[in-house]
Amino acid sequence: MVRQETRGRSRIRTVARGALLLFGLAALLLLVTVPVSAVPANPDSITLHTVKVFQNIFEANDVLFVTSYDVEYTNEPTEPASATFEIAILDGTTLVQRRSLNYYQYNIQSVYFNAADAASLTWGKEYKVRVQGTPTYFTLTENVTMDTITLSSSHWISGTMTESRELLRQHCISLAATLEDVWNITLLVTTTTGQVLNSTGRITFLDAIPELDSAIPDLFQVATSTVAVTKQTRTAAYEEQTTIGNMLGTQIKAAFDGVGDYLNISGEKVAFLWIMLFALVVASIVFLSTSNTVAAMVLTIPIFLIGAWTGALPLAVLFTLVAIVVIFTGYHIWLRGL
C-alpha cells in the first residue's frame, strides 16, 4: 500500500515537471516569434522653418499656429510620422498644446485653438514652438531630435477676421510655392483672380489645416462651403379663420358634425363631400342640357371657390381641382375645339 502511494506521488511530480517544461518552451517560442518594435533612428536633420500665428480665422478670438518643418530621413521609419513626431507649443517648459505630424520630410502642419481654448493664451507672448520626436521613441536633444523657435512680434499676425483670412491666404500661397520647389510637384494654378491651390494643393493644405476651405474658399480652385439657411415659421392664420363655424355659423357646423357622427367621419369631411357632390350635380346638369364639356367643367370653378371660402375645401385641394379644370378646358378649346 505504501509503495503504491509512493509511485502515485512520483508520477504526479513527473507530470508536473513535464507541464512546466512544455510551458517554458512555449513561452520561449512566443518571445522568439513575436516581433519587437524597433526604435526609429534619429532623423538625418530636423528643422522648424517657419511659424505664423493668426487670429479670427474660423471664429472670433480663435488662434491658429501655422508651421512649416523638415524632418529629413534618407530612409523613413516604418512607424508613421503621426506616431513619432509632433509640433508642440510650450510656455517655458510647460506643454500648452501638441499635434502629431502627418508626414516626414518637408511639409506643413497647424495647431488650432478655438475661442474657448485660446482664452488661456496671451497674444504676443514668447511661446516656444517646436518640432520634436515623441518622448516614447526619442531622447529630446536640440538640433538632433527637435528644433525650437521662440516667438517674437514678427510671428504674431493681428487683424480682423477679413484681414486675418486674407493674410493667411497669402501665407498659404507662399508656403505652397516653397513646397512646389522642394517637392517638384505643381500645387498652384493661376486664374483670373490670381493664384489658387489646385486639387493636389487642396489635399496638402486641408491635411494641415482642416476645414480651411470653409474659411477661405477663394484660396482653392475647387472649394466647398456650407450654406446658411434661415428657417421661416409658417403661420396658418387664413386656414384658422376660414372654418365652417366662422364662415357659415355654429348651427350649420353642428349639422355637419351630426351627419359626421352618423357616418363616423368628421364634420369637415361631410362638408367636403357636400361641396364635391354639389359640383358634380351642377356639372352633370350642364353637360346633359348642352352636351358642352367645357361649360360643365368651367361652371364647377365657382363652386370650388365657394367651398374654399366656407372652409369645406382645403386650399391644396382647391388648387389641384382648379388646375385640372383649366388643363382639361384648354385641351378641349385648343386641341379639340368646343
Question: Are residues 264 and 202 both part of a single domain?
Answer: no
* Full-model pTM: 0.59
Of the residues 219, 237, 263, the one at which a domain ends: 219
Extract the C-alpha cell encoding 199: 486639387
Question: Are residues 155 and 207 both part of a single domain?
Answer: yes
Question: Are residues 189 and 318 both part of a single domain?
Answer: no
Torsion angle (degrees, nearest 10) of CA 110, 116, 121, 122: 120
The tens digit of pLDDT for each residue in 206-255 reads 999 999 999 999 999 975 656 667 776 666 565 566 666 666 667 777 77
From 81, 185, 90, select the one nearest 128 (Cα to Cα).
90
Range of the domain at 135: 45-219
The tens digit of pLDDT for each residue in 162-221 reads 999 999 999 999 999 999 999 999 999 999 889 999 999 999 999 999 999 999 999 999
Domain count along the chain: 2
Residue 270 contacts residue 260 (beta carbons within 8 Å): yes
Residue 128 contacts residue 89 (beta carbons within 8 Å): yes
Q: How far apart are CA 216 and CA 210, in angstroms?
A: 12
Q: Which residues are CB-neighbours of 216 under 8 A, at least 6 positions away?
A: 165, 168, 169, 172
Assign 327 a pLDDT band (cuts: 50, 70, 90). Answer: confident
Question: Are residues 253 and 197 both part of a single domain?
Answer: no
Question: Are residues 213 and 71 both part of a single domain?
Answer: yes
* Burial per residue of 111-144, b for 16 or more beta-carbon CB atoms within 10 angstroms, e otherwise: bbbeeeebeebeeeeebbbbbbbbeebbeeeeee
